[in-house]
């Protein structure tokens, strides 16, 4: 008989779970139509409901283009937090209803991570979310979570798109309609889907003049009724065109140069239009904001009818993670949903009912799961056409990743960051694309991200993630729908170190902080291991050994 003793390993996280600051039964992320409908449906049934919304977003976070591409067009009013909070409550009166119904409402609070019971977080008791307000970061334990994080706008590179004034149409809509702080007078819309057309109509009502709609396809994609209303107000429609340059100075855009393209996105001979404006609105595609759900470990897939990469869900709004549900635009974007908030509210009510059932509460079912519209034309082909016409055939190659200053050529050729001192190869984007391998397993955006730092800047890829995936698909001759997006990991919002440092640690974790930095190495060659089996080769602590295991050998 032989005996083996397994000793306590100081590098293990077992038994070192961080302190939890608060608890709730149902956590709802996002106080838009879906999140508010979920909160009001769940209130009054004997469960604790917490509703969290990042609005009003701090000015510093807006400056990092998070959560939307604000393009430095925030008016001075956003610096007055009390004023912005009052405007937010006026724009969304259901927030007050939720408060009156007993919901724990936390505004100006971002959820930077959802940690469901996965293998990597099984050492934490229960499911936990990381929250951060203007000053503090902390952890909340929950039993069910509904993520209603909304959507954002796909970025599109062209010369000058880093100038102040180039912004997402959703960001402009929020600044104008919720914050009443959009600093724009004359704008050009790039793209023409239904969501974008509806947004610019609202901007017109708030005093913004829309000079033109620019669409690379041969016809406008969005709702015809909305288009007719815009044309009736004098908006010029330029199909078969792209923005070649947003010209101006350090203070912002002064005008845009518009050029015609053929059906393949190549430049054609023709006069370049110049349009005076101070703002360029990116409305190429509304992108479901799946970062939080994705980082929690939920499976995603490209579904054209739902607007691109979305979480895989069932008719009850459940993801494959047993405690995570989604609702609203982060569950999918389609034209009729953009025009009717009741569809998002319906999803919120369904998600609330499903979450309550998991908590042992049954309520009447009266809503059927919304069915997305049929996508037309093919979304993957449409996105590829935009990137090909704007980026691949650009006269002067722009940065696709603005934060890290990475061009399309550098992305496709996997060039390392410029600060490492490498000498750029004298190669054109066309030659690099020709050399791309075809077939096989396809390109991996995460490998591209690690090698080039594209998608690793302050905006965390929100302006370039879809562009990078589309470029890789074009280079490999694959459909955009076959290329995954570069992965997200918590925190999914930029957090100051002073806030991260507020997260508490128990004494056992603080005492062995060296284990996290490899001092000494946690990985030891087998020929240096002692006869005592431990995870790491380090002196045994004074902690009592694990109950010895005896077995006959």
pLDDT at residue 521 tops 60: no
Does the bond joining 338 to the residue before it have cis omega, within 30 degrees of 0?
A: no
> Could you tell me if 353 and 397 lie in one domain?
no
Same domain, 300 and 328: yes
What integer pLDDT is reported at residue 99 of this predicted model?
97
27 shares its domain with 115: yes
Residue 243, pLDDT above cutoff 80: yes
Identify the CA nearest to 407 among candidates 397, 417, 416: 397
Return the SS3 of 182: strand
Q: How confident is the model at residue 374 (pLDDT cuts 50, 70, 90)?
A: confident
Closest listed residue to residue 395, CA positions, set 189, 155, 157, 154 = 157
Q: Residue 265: inside a domain, yes or no?
A: no
Q: Of 218, 380, 374, whose CA–CA distance to 285 is shortest?
A: 380
User: Omega of the bond prior to 377 within 30 degrees of 0, cis?
Assistant: yes
Check whether residue 325 and residue 425 sit in a common domain.
Answer: no
Give yes or no for a contact between 37 and 345, defined as CB atoms under 8 angstroms apart: yes
Amino acid 53: pLDDT: 98
- The per-residue pLDDT for 539 is 44
**Any idea what the Cα angle at residue 452 is, between residues 161 and 501, rounded to 5°?**
90
131 lies in the same domain as 32: yes
The three-class DSSP label of residue 256 is strand
User: Is pLDDT of 550 > 50?
Assistant: no
Q: Which residue has the higher pLDDT, 219 or 543?
A: 219
pLDDT higher than 80, residue 552: no
Residues 480 and 500 placed together within one structural domain of the fold? yes
pLDDT value of position 503: 85
pLDDT band at 432 (very low <50, low <70, confident <90, very high): confident
Whether residue 241 lies inside any domain: the answer is no
For residue 62, what is the enclosing H or E element? helix 59-63
State how far the Cα of 397 lies from the Cα of 385, in Å rounded to an integer. 17
Do the bridges between strand 286-288 and strand 273-276 make them parallel or antiparallel, or are there none, so unpaired?
unpaired
Write the CB contacts of 141 (distance below 8 Å, at least 6 apart in sequence). 20, 22, 23, 24, 125, 126, 127, 128
Residues 499 and 521 grouped into a single domain: no
Q: How confident is the model at residue 186 (pLDDT cuts 50, 70, 90)?
A: very high
Q: Which 3 state secondary structure label does DSSP give 190?
A: strand
> Read out DSSP for 103-172?
-EEEET-EEEEEE-S-GGGTTSSSEEEEEE-SS-EEEEEESEEEE---EEE-----BTTTSTTEEEHHHH
CA distances to 129, 286, 289, 388 from 377, rounded to whole Å, are 38, 15, 22, 17
pLDDT over 60 (residue 441) = no
Between residues 267 and 366, the one the model is more confident about:
267
Q: Are residues 498 and 547 in the same domain?
A: no
HSE of 460, CA atoms in CB hemisphere, 13 A:
21
Domain of residue 448 covers 392-504
pLDDT at 208 over 50: yes
**Position 14 confidence tier, pLDDT thresholds 50, 70, 90:** confident
In angstroms, the Cα distances linking 239 to 190, 259, 365 are 10, 10, 46
What does the mean pLDDT of the chain come to? 88
Lowest mean pLDDT, pick from 305-309, 368-372, 502-506, 510-514 = 510-514
The continuous run of DSSP H or E covering 449 comes out as helix 445-452
Q: Between these two residues, 18 and 21, which has the higher pLDDT value?
A: 21
Are 493 and 549 in a shared domain?
no
In a domain, 310, yes or no: yes
pLDDT for res 497: 87
Taking a C-beta distance cutoff of 8 angstroms, is the pair 200, 230 a contact? yes
3-state secondary structure of 243: strand
273 occurs within a structural domain? no
Who wins on pLDDT, 528 or 84? 84
Count of structural domains within the chain: 3
- Structural domain contains residue 65: no
* Residue-level pLDDT at 444: 86
Lowest-confidence range among 253-257, 258-262, 303-307, 537-541?
A: 537-541
Among 116-120, 170-174, 331-335, 395-399, the least confident range: 116-120
pLDDT for 437 equals 65
Report how far apart, in Å, the C-alpha atoms of 401 and of each of 153, 192, 243, 263, 449 are: 15, 23, 18, 26, 10
| Confidence check: pLDDT of 236 > 90 | yes
* Residue 261 φ then ψ, to 5°: -135, 160
pLDDT at 381: 93
Could you write out the DSSP letters of every residue in 285-351?
A: -EEE--HHHHHTT--EEEEGGGTEEEE---TTSB-SSTTEEE-GGGG---HHHHH-HHHHHHHHHHH
Q: What is the pLDDT of residues 487-509, one digit of tens each?
A: 888 999 989 888 888 888 877 77
* Of 543 and 271, more confident: 271
The reply to whether 260 falls in a domain is no
Of residues 351, 366, 359, the one with CA closest to residue 319: 351
Q: Are residues 3 and 26 in the same domain?
A: no
Establish if 159 belongs to a structural domain: no
Better-scored residue on pLDDT, 484 or 383: 383
Distances from the Cα of 119 to the Cαs of 10, 122, 464, in angstroms? 20, 5, 30
User: Does residue 129 share a domain with residue 36?
Assistant: yes
* Domain end residue (candidates: 306, 339, 358): 358
Given a cut of 80, is residue 4 above it in pLDDT? no
Segment 349-365 shows an average pLDDT of 94
H helix or E strand, kind and range, residue 466: helix 465-476
The counts of H helices and E strands in the chain are 17, 25
Quote the percentage of the chain above a pLDDT of 70.
86
Assigned domain for 303 exists: yes
On the question of pLDDT at 536 being above 60, the answer is: no
* pLDDT of 212 higher than 80: yes
Domain check: are 543 and 470 in the same one?
no
Q: What is the CATH number of the domain that holds 339?
A: 3.50.50.60
Does residue 430 surpass a pLDDT of 50? yes
Query: Residue 549: is its pLDDT beyond 70?
Result: no
Q: Is the peptide bond before 67 cis (omega within 30 degrees of 0)?
A: yes
What pLDDT shows up at residue 425? Answer: 64
Altogether, the residues listed in the chain come to a count of: 553
Q: What is the pLDDT of residues 91-146, one digit of tens each?
A: 999 999 999 999 999 999 999 999 987 666 666 778 999 999 988 999 999 999 99
- Please choose, from the candidates 317, 347, 367, 370, the residue with its C-alpha nearest in 3D space to the C-alpha of residue 38: 347
pLDDT number for residue 175: 97
């Amino acid at each position: 008989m032989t005996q083996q003793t397994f000793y306590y390993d100081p590098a293990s996280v077992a038994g070192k779970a961080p302190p939890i600051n608060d608890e709730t039964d149902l956590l709802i992320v996002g106080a838009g139509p879906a999140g508010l409908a979920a909160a009001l449906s769940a209130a009054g049934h004997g469960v604790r409901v917490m509703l969290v919304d990042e609005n009003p977003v701090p000015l510093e976070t807006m400056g990092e283009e998070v959560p939307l591409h604000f393009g430095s067009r925030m008016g001075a009013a956003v610096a007055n937090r009390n004023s912005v909070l009052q405007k937010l409550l006026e724009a969304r009166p259901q927030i007050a209803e939720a408060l009156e119904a007993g919901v724990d409402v936390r505004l100006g609070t971002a959820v930077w991570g959802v940690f469901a019971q996965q293998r990597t977080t099984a050492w934490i008791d229960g499911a936990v979310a990381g929250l951060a307000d203007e000053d503090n970061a902390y952890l909340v334990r929950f039993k069910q979570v509904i993520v209603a994080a909304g959507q954002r706008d796909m970025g599109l590179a062209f010369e000058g798109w880093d100038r102040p004034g180039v912004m997402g149409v959703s960001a402009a809509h929020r600044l104008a309609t919720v914050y009443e702080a959009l600093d724009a007078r004359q704008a050009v819309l790039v793209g023409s889907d239904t969501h974008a057309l509806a947004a610019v109509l609202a901007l017109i009502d708030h005093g913004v003049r829309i000079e033109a709609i620019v669409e690379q396809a041969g016809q406008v994609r969005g709702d015809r009724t909305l288009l007719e209303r815009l044309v009736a107000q004098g908006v010029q429609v330029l199909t078969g065109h792209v923005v070649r340059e947003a010209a101006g100075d350090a203070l912002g855009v002064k005008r845009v140069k518009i050029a015609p393209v053929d059906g393949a996105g190549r430049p054609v001979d023709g006069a370049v239009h110049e349009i005076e404006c101070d703002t360029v609105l990116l409305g190429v595609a509304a992108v479901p904001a799946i970062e939080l759900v994705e980082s929690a470990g939920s499976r995603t897939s490209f579904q054209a009818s739902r607007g691109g990469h979305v979480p895989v869900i069932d008719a009850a709004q459940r993801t494959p993670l047993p405690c995570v549900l989604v609702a609203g635009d982060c569950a999918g974007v389609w034209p009729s949903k953009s025009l009717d908030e009741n569809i998002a509210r319906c999803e919120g009510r369904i998600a609330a009912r499903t979450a309550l059932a998991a908590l042992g509460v049954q309520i009447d079912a009266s809503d059927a799961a919304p069915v997305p519209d049929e996508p037309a034309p093919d979304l993957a082909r449409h996105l590829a056409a935009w990137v090909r016409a704007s980026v691949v055939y650009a006269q002067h190659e722009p940065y696709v990743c603005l934060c890290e200053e990475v061009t399309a050529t550098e992305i496709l050729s996997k060039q390392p960051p410029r600060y490492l001192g490498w000498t750029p190869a004298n190669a054109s984007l066309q030659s690099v694309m020709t050399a791309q391998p075809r077939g096989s397993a396809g390109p991996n955006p995460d490998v591209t991200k690690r090698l080039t730092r594209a998608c690793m800047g302050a905006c965390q890829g929100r302006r370039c993630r879809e562009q990078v995936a589309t470029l890789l698909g074009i280079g490999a001759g694959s459909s955009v729908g076959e290329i995954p997006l570069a992965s997200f990991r918590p925190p999914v919002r930029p957090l100051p170190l002073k806030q991260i440092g507020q997260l508490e640690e128990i004494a056992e974790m603080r005492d062995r902080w060296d284990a996290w930095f490899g001092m000494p190495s946690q990985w030891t060659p087998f020929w240096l291991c002692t006869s005592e089996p431990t995870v790491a080769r380090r002196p045994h602590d004074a902690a009592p050994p694990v109950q010895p295991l005896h077995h006959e050998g």
